[in-house]
Structures are given as C-alpha cells and as structure tokens.
C-alpha cells in the first residue's frame, strides 16, 4: 500500500510527463511549420503550413506552461488560456488577410490548373454594380 | 519514488532547453525565408509565423524561471503580432493602411 507522500510523488511524476509530452509536441509542430514555410513553393501553400502547424505548436507549449503553473505551483493563470483563445481567433483572420492581399496583388498559385472562383465572383460583383448605375 | 521524481524534474528542464533549441532553429529558417522570399507576401507570412513563435519563447521562459509574471507578455506579443500582420497585409493590398474618406 502506498503512503500519502508516495501518492503525491506519483502524481507529480505523471504531471511532469504530461508537461514534457505537450512541450515536445509543440516544438515538433513549430519546427515543421518553419520547414514548411521554407520549402513550399508559393504563398498559399506556405500559409497552409504556417497557420495550422504553428497554431498547434504554440498552443501545445502554452498548455504545457499552464499545466506546469497550475499543477506544480497551484497558480491558475487565466492569461495563458486567454492567449490560447486569442491565437485560435486571430490566426485564421491574419492568414485570410495575407492570402487576400496576395490574390489582389496578382500572385498566382504554382499549380495553375484550376479556375479562379474568387476573381470570377469579383467580376460578377463589379458587373452588377455597373448595371445598377 | 523520489529518485524517479527528481529524474522527471531534470528531464523537464532538459525538455525546455530542447524546446529553445528547436525554436531557435525554426527562427533561423524563417529569417532565411524573410531575406530570400520572392514576393513581399512570402515575407509577410514568415513575419507572422515569427511573431506567433515568440509567444512560445515567452511561455517556455516562464516554465524555466518558474514565474507567472511572463504571462502578460505572452498575451501582449500575441496582440502586437496580430496588429502588425493586419497592418502589413493592408499595406500590401492597397498601399495605404488608414483610409481617410
């Protein structure tokens, strides 16, 4: 039968392993995001690599920091949770703004064999506005 | 049991250093991308990713120094990186950031 101090030590061991796992997954996804940004051919695929992978990586590291502060030192840090929510809210918005800027500047995808639905929709909108006037 | 606990605690510290090493490698890769990138939009993508990764640096530093004072900095870096990315994207799109009509 385990004594109370042994149970507490076991709890801390499990918590440490959880923190180590979350930090390692975060680091792996951050490195894969950087490699993807360096290696992919055009802006749209680079955005695909950067936003998804770096979001998951940074959220993993923030979850590790939150677990460390909460379970080892009993500090509930609401700011880290707020930072996680903030990343989940703002990262798609900034990716969308960058990709729209790229499309309006005329940067074409490398695999250019699909029709451009966004340009067609914009031309249809312009035609509607000119007929209204 | 206590030896295992001490082992996992030293392993946690080593893991934090491994995280710092990985983040520095990825920052070097992104810096290369910022210098090389063929269009300005590629540079904007790399800058956005760098700003998000800096949040992870602050969080790892708060684990290493065992403090909660750095959590404000995590949130602040996130807000500033988002604002900077939006401003850069608007500049690349239209040439002006603030419209005056």
Burial class (CB in 10 A: 0-12, 13-18, 19+), B30: buried
Rounded to an integer, what distance in angstroms lies between the CA atom of residue A110 and that of residue A123?
Answer: 23
- Chain A, window 71-110: residues with a beta carbon less than 8 angstroms from a chain B beta carbon: 73, 75, 77, 79-80, 82-83, 86-87, 90-91, 93-95, 97-98, 100-102, 104-105, 107
Q: ipTM of this complex > 0.95?
A: no
Contacts of B27 (CB under 8 A, 6+ apart): A34, B50, B53
- Per-domain residue ranges of chain A: 4-132
Place of tokens 């990186």: B81
Residue-wise pLDDT tens digits, A19-62: 999 999 999 999 999 999 999 888 888 888 888 888 889 999 99
Please name the member of B4, B16, B25 whose beta carbon is closest to the beta carbon of A31.
B25
**Per-residue pLDDT tens over the stretch A51-108:** 888 888 999 999 999 999 888 888 888 888 999 999 999 999 999 999 888 888 877 7
Separation of alpha carbons A87 and A57, rounded Å? 11
Distances (CA, A) of B98 to A122, B84, B93, B95, B101: 23, 13, 12, 10, 10
What is the pTM for the complete model shown? 0.86
B73 interface with A at CB cutoff 8 Å? no
């Amino acid at each position: 039968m385990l004594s109370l101090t042994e149970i507490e030590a076991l709890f801390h061991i499990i918590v440490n392993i959880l923190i180590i796992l979350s930090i390692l997954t975060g680091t792996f996804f951050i490195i894969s995001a950087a490699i993807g940004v360096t290696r992919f051919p055009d802006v749209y695929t680079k955005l695909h690599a950067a936003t998804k992978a770096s979001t998951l990586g940074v959220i993993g590291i923030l979850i590790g920091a939150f677990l460390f502060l909460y379970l080892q030192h009993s500090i509930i840090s609401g700011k880290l949770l707020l930072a996680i929510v903030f990343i989940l809210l703002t990262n798609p918005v900034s990716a969308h703004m960058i990709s729209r800027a790229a499309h309006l500047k005329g940067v074409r995808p490398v695999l250019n064999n699909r029709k451009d639905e966004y340009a067609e929709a914009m031309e249809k909108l312009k035609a509607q506005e000119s007929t209204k006037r | 049991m206590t030896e295992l606990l001490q082992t996992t605690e030293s392993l946690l510290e080593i893991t934090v250093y491994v995280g710092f090493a990985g983040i520095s490698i990825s920052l070097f890769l992104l810096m290369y991308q910022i210098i090389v990138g063929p269009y300005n939009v590629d540079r904007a993508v790399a800058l956005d990713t760098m700003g998000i990764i800096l949040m992870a640096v602050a969080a790892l530093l708060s684990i290493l120094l065992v403090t909660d004072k750095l959590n404000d900095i995590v949130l602040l870096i996130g807000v500033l990186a988002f604002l900077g990315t939006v401003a850069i994207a608007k500049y690349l799109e239209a040439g002006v950031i603030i419209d005056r009509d």
